[in-house]
Amino acid sequence: MKGTLQFDYTTVGHVTIDVLADGTRQPGGAAFYSALQAARLGCRARIVTRGVRGEIDALLEPYAAELSVEVEPAAATTTLHTSGWGGTRSQRISAWAGPIEREPPPRTAILHLAPVARELSAHRLARGPFVGLTPQGLARAWRGIGDTIRPVAVDDGWSGLAARADAVVISELERSDCAGLVRAAGASGAVVVITDGPRPATLLTGAGADTPLVVPALALAVEDLGAGDVFAAALFIELADGVAPERAARFAMAAAAVRMAGSGAAAIGDRAAIAARMASAAEPP
C-alpha cells in the first residue's frame, strides 16, 4: 500500500471523549479505534476529525507516535457517557462537535468513513483506491444535548455513498436501520459484513448471497468498546491487499478477539498477536 501515497489508512469521523460508568474518560469513536488498529498493522494512519484541538491532543497523547491527527476546530469535542456493553450498551451525548465540513482527503490508500454521531454529509464524494464505510453514526439520533442516543433508520440519501464503497461493516443491531445501505452496497458488488458481537459474522456478496461465516466463537474476556471498529479496519486492510473476503473476515474476527481480551485501546493487537489468536482458534480442543 505504501507506494507514493502520503497515508495508507485515513479515517474520517469524530474522535470522542468516552465517559465510562465509573467516571473514567478515554478516547473513543470509530475513527480512533480503526486508525489505531491500522497503525498496529503497519499502516501510516491518519485521523481527520473535528473538536477542540487541545482536548483531542490530550486524549490521544499516548498514541501520538502511532497516529497523525488533523482537527477541524469546533467549540466542543463530542462527548458520550457510556454504560453496559454489546446489545445492552446505552450512551448519552453531552457535547457534539458538529459536522465535519472538509471533503475526505486524498493521498490515502484506504479511506474509511467512520461517523459516530451524524457528523458526515451524504453529498460528500468518497475518493480513494479503496473506500470503507462503517455507518453506525448515521443510524443514531438524539433530541438534544444531554439526551440518550437512540437508533434511527438511515436516510435513503446515503445509498449513493454506500454504492461507491468497496466494503461496508455494520452490526446486527443496526442491520434493519441500514437496510437501504446494505442493498445499495451489495448491488454495486461491495463486500458487506454484519458483525454480531461474539457470535459468527455474516458475509453478504454483491450477488445477494447471505452466508454465515464459520468462525471461532469469540469469548468476551474484559469489554468490547471499539471491537467492531477494530474488525472493520482489519477487514478493510486485508481486502485492499487482495485477500479473499472470507479469509479477510476471519482475520478481522481474530483482531476483534484480541481487542476484547484486554481493556481499552491498549489491547489492540499487532499482526503477530492476531496471527497467534487465529492459530489458537484453529487448534483442536
Residue 7 confidence class, pLDDT cut points 50, 70, 90 = very high
The string of pLDDT tens digits covering residues 230-274 is: 999 999 999 999 999 989 998 999 999 999 989 889 999 999 999
Look-up of cell digits 490530550: 58
Residues 35-81 have pLDDT tens digits of 999 999 999 999 999 999 999 999 999 999 999 999 999 999 999 99
Measure the CA–CA gap between 238 and 33, rounded to whole angstroms: 17
Instruction: Extract the C-alpha cell encoding 54.
Output: 487541545
pLDDT band at 180 (very low <50, low <70, confident <90, very high): very high
pLDDT in tens, 115-136: 999 999 876 656 678 999 999 9
Burial 225-244, CB ≥16 within 10 A → b, else e? bbbbbbbbbbbbbbbbeeee
Amino acid symbol at 134 = T
Out of 3.40.50.1370, 3.40.1190.20, 3.40.50.80, 1.10.3720.10, which CATH number does the structure's domain 7-280 have? Answer: 3.40.1190.20
CB distance 15 to 56 below 8 Å: yes
Q: For the whole model, what pTM was predicted? A: 0.93
What are the distances in angstroms from CA 116 to CA 1, 67, 95, 122, 220? 27, 19, 13, 14, 23
Confidence of residue 186 (pLDDT cuts 50, 70, 90): confident
Domain range list for the chain: 7-280
